[in-house]
Structure 1
Amino acid sequence: MPDAAPVAEPTPSFSPLYQQIKGLLVRSLETGEWKPGDAIPSEMELAARFKVSQGTVRKAIDELATENLLIRRQGKGTFVATHAEERVQYRFLRLRPDDGGAGSLQRRLLDCRRMRAPLDVARSLELKSGETAVQLRRLLLADGRPVVLDDIWLPGTPFKGLSIERLQGWRGPMYRLFETEFGVRMIRAEEKIRAVGAAEEEAEALAVPLGAPLLSVERLSFTYGDRPVELRRGLYNTSSHHYRNELS
């Protein structure tokens, strides 16, 4: 009887040292050791803690700053980024006015309800069958004119207690509310974009003719551990705005 074929040993994966330190820093962010807005220890302190060089720590921090998880402040140190930071709070929203203005948008909440997650939503948010989700519907307006109609889905358990009253009483960025009140921080997102024509309800909400061209943007946002925590389906009126992205 021939000998059984030997079982192949798994090939060990190699990760540069700074990437390992980056992973340890992210773990500290995820567990809440350093909360949004907190200063993290100095590079010297972190180098001593992890028994590596300051250069290795600096390279790890540089990557986290590029990913908007940390913010460097000249002469003050390095801080955990928050969605209150001007450069962070709108980093997922790529809509810009054609006239080159500041592009600040006002929000108008239309609805907030808790329900059993539809199958497609549950699949995107990795919810079990029968789990609840929170659905928000809102308009974003520029100079009083609606430009974005958003349908936002959130997993029910992490957002227990989220209500229309709580949202209407909040004055800062919505992601800042999620971060401070519910402990959920959005750190990256994936988008699908396509052109569509405005249906009757959407045309009325955005004050455009039936069938007017709109940009459909479906965004899935993730927190630490690549866990999906928001599904957003937006319809953008680009008659006076455009979608701008930077590629590198």
Structure 2
Amino acid sequence: MSSAPANLTTIGTLGAGGGVSAPGSSPTFSPLYQQIKALITQSLQSGEWKPGELIPSEVELANRFKVSQGTVRKAIDELAAENLVVRRQGKGTFVATHHEARAQYRFLRLMPDSGEPHNPDNKILEVKRLRAPAEVARLLDIKSGDSVIFIRRVQSFDGAPTIVEELWLPGLIFKGLTAERLVEYKGPMYGLFETEFGTRMIRATERIRAVTADEETAELLKVAKQTPLLSVERVSFTYGDKPVEVRRGLYLTDRHHYQNELS
């Protein structure tokens, strides 16, 4: 098979001739800056530049890829808009990390009705290895019955239980994750996933609906049974659009609201 021409889409693996094509897909044309964006993303995915590290300058990347600095700038602009990199005035462009304060609120959309948003306190209820239920396996793109790590926790704001969450993670990726490690780790959970398991959450999809508290959830949140709650099911993805987390949360919204930004 001949290598892909230089003006083919660059989502996939680098071909022998320097072009990039997606395995098993039909060639499609894409602008040059998108090809450069895909090549930079490949370097991020491979770990050439670690989370929090400074990436090469636009001039260095332009020389590396034999394109104009303007083309590189446009590619990085899109990567910054997608929160994969962070520009810092006078310092350069850095690989985004979940350890940054600004990143921690990308995936936590429950905001207080008054006061400044802040991270909740976590109480881990259980962590265990299970065989993936069919629906969870489908969402994680694994086989039904494959190993998954199941986590259940309660998150509290200012001492008030507010979120009951259940998480499912692929057992192969998160081998060695224990309740003890989650309890002793004081940073954001996604920061732990990034640092110790090499898995960075890039984007997520969510489904939101109104529900009422069953007896067990009401007890955990210290509210009456049938109290209105917000149910949020999230699937989080890493590089290559690979699903690596299913998270189902029940949110108490008497003093909080779910906030999103649409553009």
TM-score band w.r.t. shorter chain:
over 0.9
Identify which of 147, 152, 159 aligns with 2:174: 159
Indicate the structure whose relative CO is greater, using CA pairs within 8 Å and at least 6 residues apart.
1
Deviations 1:16-58 (A, max 9, x none): 1111100001000111111111110000000000011111101
Report the 3-state secondary structure (helix = DSSP H, G, I; strand = E; otherwise coil) of the residue aligned with 1:141: strand
Per-residue deviation, 1:12:
4.9
TM-score in terms of structure 2 length = 0.89
8 Å CA contact 2:124, 2:183 repeated in 1: yes
**Candidates 176, 181, 190, aligned match of 2:196:** 181
Cα contact 2:134–2:145 (8 A) shared by 1: no
1:186-205 aligned at under 5 Å gives the runs 186-205=201-220
How far apart are 1:129 and its partner, in Å? Answer: 3.0
Q: Which protein has the larger Cα radius of gyration, Structure 1 or Structure 2?
A: 1
Deviates more, 1:220-229 or 1:91-100: 91-100
**Alpha-carbon separation, structure 2, partners of 1:197 and 1:203:** 9
Uncovered stretches (5+) of structure 1, i.e. residues with no partner: 1-9
Q: In the alignment, what sits opposite 2:47?
A: 32
Within 5 A, what are the aligned runs for 1:134-145?
134-145=149-160
Q: Distance in 1 between matches of 2:121 and 2:181?
A: 17
Shift of 1:101: 2.4
4+ runs of 1 displaced by more than 6 Å?
A: none
* Equivalent of 1:223 in 235, 238, 246: 238
1:120 is matched with 135
Q: How many Å apart are 1:103 and its aligned residue?
A: 3.5
Q: What count of residue pairs does the alignment treat as equivalent? A: 239
Q: How high is the sequence identity, in percent, across the aligned residues?
A: 65
What secondary structure, in the 3-state scheme, does the structure 1 residue paired with 2:43 have? helix
The aligned amino acid for 1:212 is T
**1:188-237: CA deviation from partner (whole Å, max 9, x where unpaired):** 00000000010011111111110000000000000001000000000000
- 1:106 Cα shift? 1.4
Q: How far apart, in 1, do the equivalents of 2:185 and 2:243 lie? A: 24
1:43 has 2:58 as partner: yes
Normalised by the length of structure 1, the TM-score is 0.94
Greater shift after overlay, 96-105 or 74-83?
96-105
| Aligned counterpart, 1:7 | none
